[in-house]
Every structure is written in C-alpha cells, then in structure tokens.
Structure 1
Amino acid sequence: MRKRPLIVLSTVAAATLLLAGCSGSGAPQSSGTPEPTAASQCALDAQPGATSDAVVVEGDGADTKVTIPADAAFAGVERTVISEGDGEEIGVNDLVSVEYQIVDATNNQVLDSSARGDGDVLPVLLDTNQSSLFVAALECKPLGSRIALALPGNVLGEGQNNVVVYAEAVEKLPEVATGTPVDPTPGMPTVKLDDKGAPSVTIPDGDAPSETKVAVLKQGDGATVSSGDLVVVQYLGVKWSDGKEFDSSWSRDAVPAQFQTTGVVAGFQKALEGQKVGSQVLVVMPPADGYGASEGHELQNESLVFVVDILATTPVQAQQ
C-alpha cells in the first residue's frame, strides 16, 4: 500500500546501481504491487581487490576504526573478508542485525553507522531494491563475518566520493511476530495462523467500521515504531466486502517487505506508528484511509483489512 517509491539512505539508494536488474521484495503500493522474481542467492558476489584488501579495521563494536589508505585506487567494486564468521550463510531477503560504518575515502569520515542503533546494531532487510549496499557487502558469507566493501564514487552517482563499507551481520532476526498473544477484540475480523505463521482472515457479518480501527493480536516488546521510520513487515491484505486477498507478503514466499511509515496510505500508517517490534496488529480501514474513490483502482471504495507482523524498525538517516 505504498504511495510512492522511497529513498532510504542517500548512499544506499545510489548503490542500487550495483544490483540493477535484481528484484527485491514487494510492498503494499497504491500503484499496484509488482510481482518479484526469485533472486539468486548471490546477486553480485563481489571479489577482493587491492583497495578492499588495503582497508585497515581495528577494534570491534562501537570502538571499531576503519582507515582507508590515501592512495587507494578504487578501480572497481571490491569485497574483502577481514575475518570469516562461523554462522550460517546469509543471502538476499534475509533479515539480519548489522554492525556497520560507511566511511568517506577522501577524509576517513564516518558518514553513517549502526552506532545510532540499539546495542550498536541496526536491523537490515537484504532487499536488492532498497538496501543493495548491504546486500553487496554481506551476501553469501557466514554470520559473524567482518567485511570491507570498496565502492568507487562513479557507481554511487555523479559527483559522489569513493566510500568503504565495513559491515558484520551479527544475527538473523525473526520473520514472524514473536510477541505475546492478546485476546481478540470484539467486532473485529477473526485471524488464524497456520504452522508457519501465515494468517487467514474471516470477516464478521455487518458493515465495515466508518473509521480506522487497530487491534493488537500479539504484543511485542521491541523498539517502538515512530513516524517516518523504515519498517520491515509481513502482511496480508483482504477486502471487507468479500474477504478476498488482494496483496500479501506471505504469497511471495513469505519474503518480508520494507517501507517508510510515511510512504503508505493513512490506515496502514496508523496501524504501524506507536507499535512495538514483535507485535502483530489487525487494522480495518474505510476507503477514506485507503484508496478512497480512486477511479479505476481495483480497491476503489473498498474497506480494507490488514494483518501485519512488525519485524523491525529503523529511523531513516537524514539526507547528506
């Protein structure tokens, strides 16, 4: 139910050029949800080179220092494994917590880092459309691997400086809501989960509510979603009028979706903001908070029902 394409981080967004042609997860969009194709396990599989090998990484955690030699050539996209982890291999569409720094090669200034996150890590969905920089750095390597990714400025966009990404995928994160079940709210649709956590919805008799209503089905205890955050979710959307599914991440091989809370229709935004990671919420929205009277839209004048598992939330870095 996204209203428009979104930019995540300026550097990350530019780095989508690295993975042109690779598809990522779908997301609820007002212009229709494109059908993704299966992404290969390794979208880029960048190899080591003279520049990535020359990057010096000292310390660990919040004390990690990344130093780039002044004469580094940046001849191409290069990736060096500083130390290999012993966890399972990760790939495209995995949801992981990441420790990282993005460093400007011209002055060794840290442009962005996971130090702004809880415990010096931030959640990242390895989506080739929106987080391709992290896909290029982390894909096809074991959890715990420490990586140096060298990116020439010309692959990031006109006038961009060369950068190095230091990254470590610390752990895989749950891809279903893990919160404590909450008693159903009277008058709301009934939700049942299968053995994989995928929901199905039964619409009650009667008219849809005239205003958006949100009920918590599972209460999480993670970070609180704020306005403008980049969220990662699983979701199912059905029409109140006939109970038929019109969109679902579960129908796309249960690949989570990510988008900003301010980039979706009003009812979906109301369902997300103020909730905690790990929660599962049920939202019923009238057309006014959905697609309204959008002429010719498949959901024109429809009241909509969504079940949403909130998997992660990250404040979006200010554009630089």
Structure 2
Amino acid sequence: MSTPVTPPERFLVRLRPLAALSVAAVAVVLLAGCAGDGGDSASPSASGGVTGDLCAAAAPSGDISDAISASGEVGSVPTLEFAKPIDIDGLTIQRTVMVEGDGEPLAAGNFVDYAATIVDGATGEVLSESGYTAGEVLPEQISPESGGQIFGCATVGSRLALAAATSDEANPSLVYIIDILGVTPTTAWGTEQEPVAGLPTVTLDESGAPTITIPDADPLAETTVVALKTGDGATVEPGDQVLLQYRGVRWSNGEEFDSTWSKGGVPIPLATTGVVSGFRQALEGQTVGSQVLVSMTPADGYGDGEINTTDLKGDTLVFVIDILGTATPAAATAP
C-alpha cells in the first residue's frame, strides 16, 4: 500500500535519543541498561502503548553527580561547576535530581520536551546547548529501555545532573544538565478554525483520531491547505524534522490508504524534504500544535495516471495532519 512518503519508513528520522547530542555517549547513556534508585518516588501509568517502570530505570545518584552545581532557572542555559577532571574509574552513569519540578511525573510513552547542556567532564568545555529555544529539539518518547536511565519518572519542571563515562578517548567523561520542560500531547492542541466550504469535513473521536468525509463533488483543481486548528508553537521551516500524526484518504472513494492512527496512534518524525510535494506544502509554514487539512492534486502527490487500487497515481489525496513538534537539522544533529 502506498503512503504519503513512499513509504514513511524510508524517510523516517528516528527521534534522536538525548545522548545522540554527543555521539560518544550513546552506548553508555542509553544502552547501558543501568537501573537503580535515581531519587524518583512515583510510578506513573503507561501512555502511548509503551509500558514499564521509569522510576526503576533511572540511573542511581552518586558522589560525582551529587557534586555538580548549575546556576540559572530551569529552562535557561545553566552555568556548571564541578571538580575537573571527573574520576571515571568504575563510573558508568550517575544521575541526581538537582531541582524537583512541581509538574506531573513522567510516564513511559510520554513525548518529553527537554533542554540539554553537555560538557566535557575533563575540561569543562561546553559541547552542546540545545532545546532552550523552541524548534531546536524534537520531543523524545521515553521508555525504560530508551531514555529511562536519564529521565526516570522525574516531574515536569525538574533539572537533572548526569555524569557518564564514554569509550571516546577525546571525551572520556561527560556531564549533562537536563531540564524537563513539558510533555507533548499526541494530538494537535491549537485553536479551532472555522471550516471552509467545499472541502472534506473532519470529525475527531475521543482519542483525537480524525474521520475524513469527502464531499459529493469533483476533486479540487489545485492543491489546497487549510488549518483546522492553529497552534502557538514554533514554525515549521523548510528541511525541518517534524513530529506528527496523520491520516490519508483517496478523494475518489474516501478510503484510507495510510495512517499513524491505524498503527497505534503513536506520532512519528518525518523530514519535510522526505515527503511528496503536497505533504510538504501542508507542513512548511505551519506552527506546532496545528492540525492541517490538505487536498493534493496528483501532480503534488504520485503523478497522473489511471486511478486504480494498486497505487495512488491519478488520485487526489486528502490528509489530516497533527503537527506536534519541529526541529531544525542543525539542532537535531548537534555534536
């Protein structure tokens, strides 16, 4: 079955794990499988189809992480102080909750909004500062196996300090300051807009999944994009990676041909440069939190041809897209 990105898996850019901001730390921080008492006490419920105990997954605190200090408010770039160089003998990863936020505890399956500062543990050199400005980092879905060691079940508004050893001779140890800014909903949250006459109509079920009804009329002659909800987040720029949900149907018969909602209702990341023209037009220039309807001509979809059931050529395609996050390529691949 054809899809809006022919297929999505081909262009899917995985949500970069937090440690990917420093490539050397990926194996240590996210794949180390360490667990222990990270200072969290709650055991929040699962969400997004992902289950597990984030509290138990959190890395344990230790003398090194406890001794790290960071000035500045949560959500602003911190100034770090710690004894340099870090003693990495026997160190895997230590995690200390520096500031406990007053928000809800994180749950497995949450898409977490965060900011991160990463510092060389030997020299104190700042290697990366990301997420302090909207549109720099995509929300990351966490589970006990992916990101759980870092985030645990900390509350929104918390600041975490982590120290980790790596296998990279250039940066044998790293210090992280992680600010937990929020949890991204898995459906668009923007302000509803008035419907436009002549376009397909959209209704949402309790989960936010859209049903698209095609009007009894000829397909639109031009690709048309309208906002069903207008969000208040960052603007999607050309080339951005976008976290989204979507459903696509044919104008010719109203049948669905692809949908994240039919695959568990879990958002996926896509690059605006990795989708067909009509889908790209529906993303770029929109704001995070928006829900967009696009009716795309064959020219902006899969080209002209005789409409049939085996491919999408010749058919006008209609998508409803929830835009949940965006990140520039430069920020997403920060060192």
Q: TM-score range by the shorter chain?
A: 0.7 to 0.9
Q: Is the 8 A contact 2:115 2:132 kept in 1?
A: no
Equivalenced residue count is 298
**Which ranges in structure 2 are unaligned for 5 or more consecutive residues?**
34-47
1:142 alignment partner in structure 2: 155
1:66 alignment partner in structure 2: 80
Q: Tell me, in whole angstroms, the C-alpha distance in 2 between the residues paired with 1:319 and 1:98.
A: 15
Deviations, residues 96-147 of structure 1 (Å, cap 9, x unaligned)? 43243122223322222246505xx966422259xx55x5422322222221
Shift of 1:271: 0.6
Shift of 1:307: 0.6
Q: Is the 8 A contact 1:49 1:79 kept in 2?
A: yes
1:81 alignment partner in structure 2: 97
**Which ranges in structure 1 are unaligned for 5 or more consecutive residues?**
23-35
Q: Does residue 256 of structure 2 align to residue 240 of structure 1?
A: no
Q: Does residue 107 of structure 2 align to residue 91 of structure 1?
A: yes
The letter for the 2-side match of 1:6 is V
Q: Does residue 290 of structure 2 align to residue 279 of structure 1?
A: yes
My pick for the range that moved more, 236-245 or 139-148, is: 236-245
Q: Is the 8 A contact 1:84 1:146 kept in 2?
A: yes
1:304 alignment partner in structure 2: 317
Q: State percent identity of aligned pairs.
A: 39
1:225 alignment partner in structure 2: 236
Distance 1:313 1:251, change over 3 A: same
Shift of 1:189: 1.5
1:202 alignment partner in structure 2: 213
Shift of 1:19: 4.4
Q: Is the 8 A contact 2:228 2:290 kept in 1?
A: yes
Q: Tell me, in whole angstroms, the C-alpha distance in 2 between the residues paired with 1:263 and 1:159.
A: 34
Task: Look up the SS of the partner of 1:276 in the other structure.
Answer: coil
The aligned runs of 1:9-88 (5 Å cut-off) are: 11-12=20-21, 14=23, 17=27, 18-19=29-30, 38-42=50-54, 44-61=57-74, 62=76, 64-74=78-88, 75-88=91-104
- Correspondence for 2:140 among 126, 148, 157: 126
The letter for the 1-side match of 2:119 is V
* TM-score using structure 1 length: 0.76
Q: Tell me, in whole angstroms, the C-alpha distance in 1 between the residues paired with 2:93 and 2:19.
A: 18
The letter for the 1-side match of 2:71 is E
The letter for the 2-side match of 1:66 is L
CA RMSD of aligned residues (A): 3.6
1:314 alignment partner in structure 2: 327
1:107 alignment partner in structure 2: 123
The letter for the 1-side match of 2:178 is A
Shift of 1:236: 1.8
The letter for the 1-side match of 2:81 is T
Q: Is the 8 A contact 2:235 2:286 kept in 1?
A: yes
2:179 alignment partner in structure 1: 168
Q: Is the 8 A contact 1:95 1:123 kept in 2?
A: no
Task: Look up the SS of the partner of 1:237 in the other structure.
Answer: strand
Q: Is the 8 A contact 1:212 1:285 kept in 2?
A: yes
Deviations, residues 144-200 of structure 1 (Å, cap 9, x unaligned)? 22211223333xx78655322211213334433232322223332211112332210
Q: Is the 8 A contact 1:232 1:257 kept in 2?
A: yes
